[in-house]
A = this chain, B = another copy of it.
Amino acid sequence: MTHNNPPFPSADHDHKHCVSHALKNAEAYCQQQGLRLTKLRHQVLELIWANHQPVGAYELLDQLTHEGRKAAPPTVYRALDFLMENGLVHRISSRNAYVGCSHAGHDHTAQFLICESCGQVAELDNAQIGSVIAKGANQLGFTVAQWTLEISGTCDQCKHRSQDE
C-alpha cells in the first residue's frame, strides 16, 4: 500500500482513520511476514497511536495497567522492542519517547518534525534528505548503516494560532 507523504497532522483530521489504518497495516504486515502481533503488542501499538505525540514507556505502562493488564516495565519495553524491530514504531531519542511509524513496511529511516508548541510529530520520508546525507557521509569514506534526524520547531498551525492572539 502506498500513500503520499502526510503533512503535519491537522487539528481536525480524522484521527480514527490514522489509527485504523495503522492497525490494519500492522496486522497485514505481520501476517504476511509470519510475525506474531500478539494481543499485548497490538494493545501497545494502539495506545501509541492514541495521538500524534510521542509517548513515554512508563506512560504506556500506566495505561496498560488501567486497561486491566498486569504489566511491569519489561512488559512494555519488550512490546516496544518488537514493534521497533519490525518498523511499526520509532523511538524519538531526543525525548525518550515512542511514536507510531507512518510508513510501516517501507524500508526507510526516520526523519521527524517535532512541534515544540503542540508536541505533535510528523514523520517525513524525504528522499532528497536521505541522498544528501548519504553523499556527505560517503565523501568521508563513511558507510552509513542507519540514521535519525529529529527536527524541532513550530508547525504551521501553531504559527497561525500564535498570530491570532
Contact = CB atoms under 8 A, between A and B. Distances in A.
Interface of A: 7-8, 93-94, 111, 113, 115-116, 122, 124, 126, 128-129, 132-133, 136-137, 140-156, 159
12 contacts: A113-B140, A116-B145, A122-B140, A122-B142, A128-B132, A129-B129, A129-B132, A133-B149, A137-B151, A143-B154, A145-B152, A147-B152
Given A93-B94, A129-B133, A136-B128, A151 B159 contact: no
A158 to B, nearest CB: 9
Given A113-B137, A124-B136, 14 more contacts: A7-B141, A8-B142, A93-B94, A113-B140, A124-B140, A137-B151, A140-B156, A141-B155, A142-B155, A143-B154, A143-B159, A145-B152, A146-B153, A149-B149
Contacts of A94: 93, 148
Contacts of A93: 93-94, 150
A159 B143 CA distance: 8
